[in-house]
Chains A and B, each alone.
Chain A
Amino acid sequence: MNLLQILQNTTKADRILILFLLISCFSFIIFFNKIFSNKQSIHIYSEGKEVYILSLNENNKVDIKGRLGITTVEIKDKKVRITSSPCENKLCIKQGWKDSGSIICLPNNIIVSIGEYKKEGSGIDAVTK
């Protein structure tokens, strides 16, 4: 009784089953990978509420109403910036293009965050800074 015989003794159903499972696993893996690699998203919060979820991969320009007025956010070439803001010191505009982290406009109460803002480092619940 050798290995070859065993393999020959497997039924058609065996082979179909194994093949089916392997193929479906692989296709699920590829499928999930596609979905989640595109998941790089921009979350925009105004006065604590999430008002927009945008894709970083699509060029876009949106106006968000904040505490003081309209803040304009531009997405281009997988980067994001604030182009206009009613705030006084315009610190948010000065930050320029960003491809990670977040841009916060305190006076207008707007958070533009790449990925979810809530997410923090590995297993860390809060950071004293």
Chain B
Amino acid sequence: MQLQNKYQIALLSAFAIGIHSIENLLPSPIPWLRFGLANIITLITLYLFGFRAAFTVTLIRTFISSLINGTFPGPAYIMSLGGGITATISMWLIISLIPQLFSAVGISVIGAFFHNIMQLFIAYFLLIQRIEPIILVSPFIVLAGTIAGTINGIVAELVIKNLKKQIEPT
């Protein structure tokens, strides 16, 4: 059981890193604004294997990806790490505190929202130190995050349902 868990974490982390890296290759109008596809993996892990696994996957993913992208240990890494951790914790809290209220789609949106908020915070403290641009830009960031979060949530829901189908009959 322990061993299998390790394999699963390794595999999920690999998926997450892969998705994260591919996403980095995609052209983006603004380097900051990413779809956050790796969050799909975090969400799936959270649903299927629990908080500890999801948290581990997030740590591994942000660390390895930043090494690959050469952003370690710069602000981009700190933002990615901070956002990832906040998203994981916030999604887990909602799932465990009010389990039936949201589906994976809602959880994903919540994760994206807190991810964005954390990144804006980090951007403020680390990079800009002026509150005006942060406040001005935040509705755009949150808007993009909500749309991306919804789509990610739908994908995650699909994967989770399919995986559960495969697991349950056996």
- In the complex they form, whether A and B have CB atoms below 8 Å apart is answered with yes
Residues of A within 8 A of B (CB): 1, 3, 6-7, 9-11, 13-14, 17-18, 21-22, 24-26, 28-29, 32, 36
Contacts of A9 in B (CB 8 A): 103, 157
Whether B150 and A18, one on each chain, are in contact in the complex, defined by CB atoms closer than 8 angstroms, is yes
Q: Which residue of B lies closest to A11 (CB)?
A: B103
Determine the distance from Cα of A32 to Cα of B101 in the docked complex, in whole angstroms.
Answer: 33
Q: Which of A6, A17, A28, A36 contacts B109 (CB 8 A)?
A: A17
A-B pairs with CB below 8 Å: how many?
61
B-side interface residues, number (CB < 8 Å): 23
| B138 smallest CB distance to A (angstroms) | 8
Whether B106 and A18, one on each chain, are in contact in the complex, defined by CB atoms closer than 8 angstroms, is yes
Classify the interface of chain B: helix, strand, loop or mixed: helix
Determine the distance from Cα of A24 to Cα of B28 in the docked complex, in whole angstroms.
Answer: 25
Classify the interface of chain A: helix, strand, loop or mixed: helix
Whether B146 and A10, one on each chain, are in contact in the complex, defined by CB atoms closer than 8 angstroms, is no
- Complex A-B, nearest 9 residue pairs according to Cβ-Cβ distance, in ascending order: A14-B106, A28-B139, A25-B143, A21-B146, A25-B139, A13-B101, A29-B139, A10-B105, A10-B103
Determine the distance from Cα of A11 to Cα of B100 in the docked complex, in whole angstroms.
Answer: 9
